[in-house]
Amino acid sequence: MTRLRTVRGTLLCPSRERGRFELIRDGVLELDAAGTIRSIGSAPTGCTVATTRPGCVWLPGFVDTHVHFPQTRAIGRSSGALLDWLQQTIFAEEAKFADPHYAAIVAREFCQAMIDQGTTCASIYGSSHHAATEVLFRELDRSGLRAQAGTTLMDRGAPAELCVAASDALPACDELAARWDGHDGGRLRYCVTPRFALSCSAELMNGAAELAQRRGLPIQTHLAEHPDEVAAVARAFPESATYLETYAAHGLCTERTLFGHALWLAPEEWRLLAEQNAAISHCPDSNFFLGSGVFRLREATERRIRVGLGSDVGAGRTFSMRRVASAAYDASLLNGVKVSSAELLWLATTGGAEALGLTARVGRLESGFDADLVAIECGVADRASSTLDELLDALVFCAEGNPVRGTYVRGRQLARTEAVSP
Ligand code: GUN
Ligand code: ZN
C-alpha cells in the first residue's frame, strides 16, 4: 500500500476554535510511514519538492456524522413526512438487506459514494440484519475509510422482517463489537445504534445502554426530528416528560451519544444535552427533504454543545458534505442567522470529529494527527489576489465547479474500485 509522505500545495488548516482557518498558500505537510502528520508549515525558500496535485486545495477529509447504509438506493424517494416515508419507502428497501449478497453490492456503492465526495470518516446506521452489518464492516475495512457503525436496533414499530428481539440482537451486537471495535488501530469502531424510541422497547434500550457502557462504545440515535414523531413518543412513553427523557431514563443520554436532528427540543432538553455533554448531528438537507423543521444551530453552539453535519442519506439527497454545509447555510437563514462558510466548513470537518469524540487524531492538519485529507480542485486558490473568504465560499457553495480529486485516510489514497456484478 502506498502512502503520501510529503504534500506540497495550498493547505487549509482548521483551528481548534470553531469557524477559524489558517491558509498556507505554499505549504508542506510531512507524514510518517504510518500516515501520521509529522510537520506542517510554509515551504522553505528553495524547496525542491514538486507541487502535489497542482490546482488543488488540501484540507481535512469530511466527516459525515449521520448516514444510513441500507438507504443508499433509496435516495430521493419522496413519500411524505418522516413516519410515512419510513413505512412507505424505507422499510421495504431495508428488508432487502436480509440477503448478504445484496448488502455486499450496496456496501461497495455506499463506500465509493462517500470517497467520491471527499468523506474520510462517517457515523453509519447499518442494517438491522447482523450479516449485512458484518458485510458493511468488511467493505469499510477494505475501502480504507474511517468509520463508526452498528446494527440498527429495532424490536417494534416496523415490519416483522426488520425487528429482532433484544435477546437475539444484543448478543449479536456484542459479537460484532468484539470483532470490529478498535479494528486497524481504531480506524473502525462499533457504535450502538438503537434506531429511535418508537422502534425500541424499554428492554432493548436498556440492553443497548448496558452494552455501550460495558464496552465503552459510542451510541447514536434519532431525536425530535418531526412533530408527529415527538407526539408519538409522548404517547408511547407517558412516564417521560420529554423525548430526550425517554433516552435518559434508559441510560442512552451520555457524553458518547450522538443524537441525529434535535429539531423540536424543549428548553429542558437543551439543558440536559449540554449537561450530559452529548453531541448533535445536524442534517439540514434531510430536514428540507422530509419537511421536518429547522435546526437551531445557535441554541447548540451558545451552550457549547458539540455539533457535526450529517448527510442522513437516504432522507438526505446527497453524499456531498459540501452540499450539506450549503443546506445548513439555508437552514440558518430561516432562523435569521447568517453562518459563515468558514464555520460551515469547520462543522463539516473538525466539528464532525469533535461530535464523534475523535479530536485527538482527526479533523485538523497538525503534527500528531492522522493525515485524513481531501484534495479539491479550486480555481480560486490559484489566484494570488483571492482572499481566504473567497476560497471558503467557493469550496462550500460551488461544489460542482470545484471537484474532489483525491481522498486519503492516514495518507493512503482511497481508490475508485470496480463494482461487484449484481
Ligand atoms: N428516524 C427513525 N429512522 C429514521 C431514518 O431512517 N431516517 C431519518 N431521517 N429519521 C429516522
Ligand atoms: Zn437518520
Average pLDDT of the chain to the nearest whole number: 96
- Using CB distances shorter than 6 Å, the residues near ligand 1 are 68, 82, 86, 90, 195-196, 222, 225, 286, 312, 315
Which whole number is the average pLDDT over 99-106? 98
CA distance 323 to 96: 28
Tell me what pLDDT residue 1 has: 63
What CATH number does domain 6-60+363-413 carry, 3.30.420.40, 3.40.50.920, 3.30.70.2190, 2.30.40.10?
Answer: 2.30.40.10
Phi-psi region of 363 (alpha: psi -120 to 50; beta: other; left: phi over 0): left
Most informative mutation of 124, 200, 222 for ligand 1 (most atoms within 8 A of CB): 222
Which of 195, 205, 223, 295 to mutate for ligand 1's pocket (most ligand atoms within 8 Å of CB)?
A: 195
DSSP string of 271-319? HHHHHHT-EEEE-HHHHHHTT-----HHHHHTTT--EEE---BTTBS-S
Q: What is the predicted pLDDT for the residue at 279?
A: 98
Residue 144 C-alpha cell reads as: 480504507
- CA dist., res. 378 & res. 404, Å (int): 9
Work out which ligand 1 atom sits closest to the CA atom of 68. Answer: 6
Ligand nearest to the CA of 232: 1
pLDDT in tens, 133-146: 999 999 999 999 99
Ligand 1 atom closest to residue 283's alpha carbon, by position in its atom list: 9
pLDDT band for position 384 (cuts 50, 70, 90): confident
Specify the pLDDT at position 419: 44
Indicate where the chain has its CATH 2.30.40.10 domain(s).
6-60+363-413
Q: How far apart are CA 334 and CA 135, in angstroms?
A: 40
Q: What is the mean pLDDT of residues 316-340?
A: 98
Question: Percent of the chain, pLDDT > 70?
Answer: 98
Grid cell listed for 58: 488540501
Q: What is the mean pLDDT of residues 33-53?
A: 96
At residue 415, the pLDDT reads 84
| Residues 174-192: tens digit of each pLDDT | 999 999 999 999 999 999 9
- Closest ligand to C-alpha of residue 128 is 1
Instruction: Name the 3-class secondary structure at 395.
Output: helix
For residues 235 and 232, what is the distance between their CA atoms, to the nearest angstrom? 5
CATH 3.20.20.140 boundaries in the chain = 62-355
Four-residue CA torsion sign, 210, 214, 215, 217: positive
- At 372 the pLDDT is 98
Mean pLDDT of 76-96: 96
The number of helix segments (H) and strand segments (E) in the chain equals 17, 17
Fold for 62-355, please state it.
TIM Barrel (3.20.20)
**Closest ligand 1 atom to Cα of 290:** 9
